[in-house]
Structure 1
């Protein structure tokens, strides 16, 4: 009797653990990307209407691509143009798992080579309007090597 109760509790626990990743599964369109450095006010890192998408599969694969609203095509552009395009985007892929309210991605490919082979953790939640809110924290990014930052990304599920 005890083993049956234990097995049932284990199954319920496993079902609850799987429910959250499945809620993440799907295609999400980026609607906002704000960053806060230190105690400064939040600002739109990639403009008021950044472009991007998060795709998460029920099997635990994900792709994230974010780009600034004002990126310009540079056919045949030189090094400076390519560097500007690189600075105006974020992209990475990998396997993800969910631990509580955190999505942890084992990065296999990234626009920033230093992320490959690392784990990137993002706090997440769903608001009352069905939006997915991701939050990342760190220190030392862009032109502020010693300043702590918080990035907040808001997505809506693609219909």
Structure 2
């Protein structure tokens, strides 16, 4: 089943592989910032025994990264800041998906729950949160990640 704008998604609607098409922060005045510039990413929701909770993994990276120099601390830092990844268990409650993180590129995400509001229309999945991001910890914006199958 493909969920529409008015339908509440099911775990089966989310299960599978998704490709990132958009990652932005949006402020109430409509201003947007793409924190990684042109970004690429993949999100995978797996179901255990055909039902949630299941396992999930996500990775998002900037497409435009400089060449990597293993001997340069600055290069290491730039590459670390150019993306993020995490994985863990996931559950769906209404229009909220919970990512219970057990492994992450950012250690402070480990053993935490990251909750995202879900909107599913046709084969486009939009996940949003107003939790501040490590790239911009002052908050005041909504993080929007749009995915397609």
The interval holding the TM-score normalised by the smaller chain is: 0.7 to 0.9
TM-score by length of 1: 0.78
Partner of 1:135: 128
Tell me, in whole angstroms, the C-alpha distance in 1 between the residues paired with 2:147 and 2:133. Answer: 25
Aligned-pair RMSD on alpha carbons?
Answer: 2.0
Task: Determine whether 1:113 maps to 2:107.
Answer: yes
1:38–1:147 CA contact under 8 A, matched in 2? no
Partner of 1:153: 145
For structure 2, the 5+ residue unaligned runs are: 1-7, 49-53
Q: How many residues align structurally? A: 137
Tell me, in whole angstroms, the C-alpha distance in 1 between the residues paired with 2:62 and 2:131. Answer: 20
Partner of 2:64: 70
Per the alignment, do residues 83 and 37 of structure 1 end up closer, same or farther by CA in structure 2, a change over 3 Å counting? Answer: farther
SS in 1 for 2:75: helix
Partner of 1:92: 86
Q: Bigger shift: 94-103 or 28-37?
A: 28-37
1:70 to partner: Cα distance = 0.7
Bigger RCO (CA 8 Å, 6+ sep): 2
TM-score by length of 2: 0.83
1:37–1:147 CA contact under 8 A, matched in 2? no
